[in-house]
Amino acid sequence: MYRAFIIGLGRIAFLMEDDSFRTSPCTHAKSYESHENIDLLGGFDIEQSQCDRFKEKYPDVKTSSSDLKSTLYDLKPNLISICTSSSAHLDIVKIVCEYSRNHELLGVLLEKPVGMNTAEASQIQLLFQDTGVNVLVCHDRRFYSNYSYYKSLIKKRGFGKLKSIHGEIHCGSFVKKEKGKKINSFFGGPLLHDGTHLFDLMIWYAGLPLSVSALASQEKSNLLSEDTCIGSIFFDDNVLGTFLVGGMRKYFHFEIVLEWERAKLVDSHGHIQFYQKTKDSPFLKVKKLKMPVGVNPFMNRLNHLLDIIELKVPNKSTIQDGLDAVKVIDSIYNSCQNRGTLVHLDDKNTPKNLMILDRS
């Protein structure tokens, strides 16, 4: 029997189960509770009020708001979820890794993004490498049936080569204050907090980008980050990515568009449109795409972690994958700070077919 513990008792830890429009389980706690081979031992949060709310929901667990290290040593979990604010990841990981050197820690679910920047994410990767603990980064779209199916379509090349990926995340900016601090300082802006899902998906489909170019806007002067960012991402094999993240919307919406040589697919927050070229026409025609049976991504993710532990299957969402997403976001910020300048992720491997137009 596995023994699970959650660090950071916020929305993704357990509170999102109260959202009526989500399919349960949609949190770490409910996923653990729903698994027949896992006991949920407890949770930790620096806010006692969050511990109290968690205790109301799960009265049999133990909680703490003061000493994470002692709590871990007392309860001895072998599965840990790290659900804290992104800016706290590094400090939490140091404690978890120290714990793992003295106790059996089999697996960690690490919420995205891995760190607030590439340097921090790289430190976290090195800390975990020294322990040998199985770590799965929670880029959850890798565990949705539809997004996994699209990856298989890309691999099969039944519609020709993948030519472009366009993604949009419409959301608001984080401007409300918590105890005198803007929430941006904990989570980052839309690029880091929500965009990480989009860029991870693009990387999963097309590989690590070669270069990026982007521009960002900041509608309100008191923001600590961008409110909207648009840009282009250049992948190997002449695949072009484009994106819009943010937009100061009063709603959340995730959309991805995949275009092959002979087909186009639009997944607009689960509403799917598919177009395909036919032999009798040069145009695309609406076609029905047979989709796989849906599975709960949170349970799929948790079961995958257990398969990594028990069956030694390859990890579908590694720390390296999470680090790659942060590298892309850092490169996008770099480009924005230099007014859209093309930024290469690797100077030794740059796009070969970019055309510099000279109209003089």
Domains defined for the chain, CATH in brackets? 2-138 (3.40.50.720), 141-292+318-344 (3.30.360.10)
Residue 50 pLDDT > 80, yes or no?
yes
State the Cα–Cα distance between residues 89 and 100, nearest whole angstrom.
16
Name the percent of the chain lying above pLDDT 90: 86
Count of CA atoms in the C-beta half-sphere (13 A) of 138: 25
Asked if the model's pLDDT at residue 348 lies above 90, the reply is: no
Q: What's the confidence (pLDDT) of residue 225?
A: 81
Mean pLDDT across 292-299: 95
Q: Counting beta carbons within 10 angstroms of the beta carbon of residue 360, is it exposed (0 to 12), middle (13 to 18) or buried (19 or more)?
A: exposed
Binned at pLDDT 50, 70 and 90, residue 306 comes out as very high
Is the bond preceding residue 351 a cis peptide, omega within 30 degrees?
no
Closest alpha carbon to 248 in 220, 270, 271, 275: 220
CB 78 within 8 A of CB 106: yes
Average pLDDT over residues 266-281: 95
Question: Using CA atoms, how far apart are residues 8 and 92, in angstroms rounded to an integer?
Answer: 10
Residues 6+ away with beta carbon under 8 Å from 70? 64
The percentage of the chain sitting over the pLDDT mark of 70, rounded to a whole number, equals 91
| pLDDT digits 0-9 by tens, 209-226 | 999 999 999 887 666 688
Say if residue 177's pLDDT is above 50. Answer: no
Predicted confidence at residue 220, as pLDDT, reads: 73
Structure tokens of 219?
Answer: 């509608």
How confident is the model over 46-63, as a mean pLDDT? 97
Give yes or no for residue 354 having a pLDDT over 70. no
Cis-peptide, bond into residue 190, ω within 30° of zero: no
Mean pLDDT of the chain: 93
Cβ atoms of residues 169 and 245 within 8 Å:
yes
Burial of 37 (0-12, 13-18, 19+ CB in 10 A): exposed
Residue 351 or residue 145, greater confidence: 145
| Digit-coded pLDDT (tens) for 233-262 | 999 999 999 999 999 999 999 999 999 999
Q: What is d(CA 187, CA 164) in angstroms, rounded to the nearest whole number?
A: 29
